[in-house]
Amino acid sequence: MARIRSIKPEFWSSEQVMECSTNARLLFIGLWNFCDDAGRMPLKARQIKAQILPGDDITSENVLGMVEELSANGLVTIYAVDNQEYLEVTGWHHQRIDKPQKPKYPPNPVNAEAHSTNVPRTFPPDRIREDKSSRREPAARDREKCLPEIIFGACLDYLTEHGATDKHARSELGKWRKLVGDQQVIQLVQRAQKESVTEPIAWIEAAMKPDARKVLPL
């Protein structure tokens, strides 16, 4: 059942939120209405599109790309339980729940204790989850934090300048990030740009095939 949620002024100036594309921000807000009071919901792109963006020319693949973008910025976590994928809102602490109901969906098995139903009246803090990555060198963390901005900035611009629509480019970038990771995607785009390929999407798709990686070192 959908729930009424509130938006505090602090949301708009959150660094994590500002690093996301406009559509991803809108999707993020929409997720609050349909997740349970622990911030969880099934990750079913077609259903999410129908619930949040029913009248927009956006595909299920676009939705998955935006969810990946939110995940890369620490705003949601994606996990699986019994072969079903779920997402959990992890990046906004201003959302207060007056009468929290029992969670409808299972917690992330990796950090189930951190999301005990005895504690939540708010969603977790507006920062990337503290895990092993929090112990990395600050410079490395800063570089990783910039990767989504590069992908949905310069890389997106490069693909659209070479004939791809914004929707298609975002969809491809989201898919590639899931397949090979942010750093690899950026390296492939830079390689395509350096070699002045005329059809970068097709070239990058070919370069990501296992056989091609032996020929096209990164």
Based on the number of CB atoms within 10 Å of its own CB, is 195 exposed (0-12), middle (13-18) or buried (19 or more)? exposed
Q: Of the residues 132, 150, 183, which one is the last residue of a structural domain?
A: 132
Higher pLDDT, residue 122 or 145: 145
* Pair (72, 145) in one structural domain: no
Q: What is the pLDDT of residue 95?
A: 57
* Pair (18, 106) in one structural domain: yes
Q: Of the residues 80, 99, 132, which one is the last residue of a structural domain?
A: 132
* Pair (61, 14) in one structural domain: yes
* Pair (189, 208) in one structural domain: yes
User: Would you report the helix, strand and coil content of the chain in percent, each value rounded to 5?
Assistant: 55, 10, 40
| Nearby residues of 87 by Cβ (< 8 Å), 6 or more positions away | 31, 35, 40, 41, 43, 67, 71, 76, 77, 78, 79
* Pair (23, 125) in one structural domain: yes
Closest residue by Cα to residue 109 from 142, 80, 146, 147: 80
Q: What is the pLDDT of residue 151?
A: 85
Q: Of the residues 77, 97, 132, which one is the last residue of a structural domain?
A: 132
pTM for the model stands at 0.50
* Pair (86, 179) in one structural domain: no
Q: What is the pLDDT of residue 152?
A: 85
Is the pLDDT at 169 greater than 70, yes or no? yes
Distance CA 119, CA 113 (A): 10
pLDDT winner (highest mean) among 34-38, 115-119, 135-139: 34-38
Is the pLDDT at 202 greater than 90, yes or no? yes
* Pair (91, 166) in one structural domain: no
* Pair (185, 82) in one structural domain: no
SS3 labels along 6-46: CCCHHHHHCHHHHCCCHHHHHHHHHHHHHCCCCCEEECCHH
pLDDT band at 24 (very low <50, low <70, confident <90, very high): very high
Retrieve residue 179's tokens.
């397949």
Q: Which domain CATH number covers 120?
A: 1.10.10.10
* Pair (53, 107) in one structural domain: yes
Q: What is the pLDDT of residue 122?
A: 38
Closest residue by Cα to residue 87 from 72, 75, 74, 77: 77
* Pair (28, 75) in one structural domain: yes
Q: What is the pLDDT of residue 47?
A: 94
pLDDT band at 14 (very low <50, low <70, confident <90, very high): confident
Domain that holds residue 103: 9-132
Average pLDDT, the chain: 77
Instruction: Report if residue 198 sits inside a domain.
Output: yes
* Pair (24, 91) in one structural domain: yes
Task: Give yes or no for a contact between 100 and 94, defined as CB atoms under 8 angstroms apart.
Answer: no
Higher pLDDT, residue 6 or 124: 6
- Domain count along the chain: 2
Render 159-198 in DSSP notation, one character per residue. HHHTT--HHHHHHHHHHHHHHH-HHHHHHHHHHHHHTT-S
pLDDT band at 114 (very low <50, low <70, confident <90, very high): very low
Supply the Cα-derived Rg of the chain in whole angstroms: 18
Instruction: Report if residue 31 sits inside a domain.
Output: yes
Instruction: Report if residue 4 sits inside a domain.
Output: no
pLDDT band at 213 (very low <50, low <70, confident <90, very high): very low
Closest residue by Cα to residue 14 from 129, 128, 134: 128
SS3 71: helix
